[in-house]
Amino acid sequence: MEAIGTVYLVGAGPGDPDLLTLRAASLLERARIVVHDGLVDPQVLALAPADARLVSVAKRRAHHTLPQEDICALLVREALAGNDVVRLKGGDPLVFGRGGEEAEACRAAGVPVEIVPGISAANGAAAAAQIALTHRDAASVVSFVAGQCKGLSDQDWTGLAGKGRTLVIYMGVKTAPAIAEKLIADGLAPDMPLAVIENACRPQMRVLRGPLAALPDIVVREAVQSPALIVIGQVTAREDHALATLALEAQS
């Protein structure tokens, strides 16, 4: 009988291949099969050998090309057939990446799994936009939430945003009006500063700032596209940001 292969759930980071871990890069460079999401940057995929099999299971909001059960089944089937599989996910596999479900499916089938962390969009975007997620003078709590998974209205975000706290919203572009409404209804000041960071860690990155009440307008006026993060809190409006924004513009 063939030896069982291992499934490597690998974080590909937010875009720039320089932000891969050494472990991720070395697994990719010797991969035979790479199963990847739509969010993974083509420059990262280019690290796989030319003859490796690349399988895209790209998911777009409301348009799943491959349902999650089928992705899990594919990973298990390949491993049971004796193949090591690199399952490459944008950011970190365990932050809104359904990596937990894939690891469970593998363990249930007796397939060994290794999880390789990646730089999550929040960390990549914060660094690229020079926004401190925590700051001695502005925030000592940071939370990550999803703007559209399992129903926005079912999620309880009370207490996650406000003075001294930073809220990072993944997948929030499409639901921006409902997000602003929900947070203001929860008591957040309409002038609470925020930043929308589109395509963080990619050449076309944009950082847009404004007050919470203007979030729906910013998204429409600037035609913000996924992938983008919304960061809400005082940390996004420190006075030195005007300088950082100028420096970014000068670079591009």
Interface pick for ligand SAH out of 171, 179, 224, 237 (rule CB under 6 A): 171
Pairing mode, if any, of strands 59-60 and 63-64? Answer: antiparallel
Pairing mode, if any, of strands 7-11 and 85-89? Answer: parallel
Q: Name the residue nearer to ligand SAH (CB basis): 4 or 121.
A: 121
Among positions 73-132, residues that touch ligand SAH (CB under 6 A) are 89-92, 95-97, 120-121, 125
Q: Shortest gap between Cβ of 36 and ligand SAH (angstroms)?
A: 12
Which one of the spans 65-73, 211-219, 227-235, 243-251 is the region binding ligand SAH (CB under 6 A)? 227-235
Contact in structure between 196 and 219 (CB atoms under 8 Å):
yes
Interface pick for ligand SAH out of 4, 34, 39, 208 (rule CB under 6 A): 39
- DSSP, collapsed to helix, strand or coil, labels residue 7 as strand
| Helices (H), ranges, 113-223 | 121-129, 176-185, 215-221
Q: Name the residue nearer to ligand SAH (CB basis): 44 or 85.
A: 44
Separation CA 183–CA 180 (nearest Å): 5
Interface pick for ligand SAH out of 74, 116, 133, 228 (rule CB under 6 A): 228
- Residue 251 is classified by DSSP as H
37 among known catalytic residues? yes
Interface pick for ligand SAH out of 134, 226, 234, 245 (rule CB under 6 A): 226
Contact in structure between 104 and 26 (CB atoms under 8 Å):
no
Phi, psi of 59 (to 5 degrees): -120, 130
Residues in the chain: 252
Which one of the spans 47-55, 181-189, 200-208, 237-245 is the region binding ligand SAH (CB under 6 A)? 200-208
Q: Shortest gap between Cβ of 165 and ligand SAH (angstroms)?
A: 19
Contact in structure between 113 and 144 (CB atoms under 8 Å):
no
163 among known catalytic residues? no
> Which residues make beta-bridge pairs with 87?
9, 35
* Interaction of residue 201 with ligand SAH, rule CB under 6 A: yes
Provide the mask over 13-32, with x wherever binding to ligand SAH is found by CB under 6 A and - wherever it is not: -xx-----------------
Contact in structure between 18 and 118 (CB atoms under 8 Å):
no
Q: Shortest gap between Cβ of 205 and ligand SAH (angstroms)?
A: 7
Q: Shortest gap between Cβ of 28 and ligand SAH (angstroms)?
A: 17
User: What are the residues whose beta carbons fall under 8 Å from the beta carbon of 145, sequence distance 6 or more?
Assistant: 155, 157, 160, 167, 168, 169, 170
The set of catalytic residues is 37, 59
Site residues (vs ligand SAH, CB under 6 A): 14-15, 39, 89-92, 95-97, 120-121, 125, 170-171, 197, 199-202, 226-229
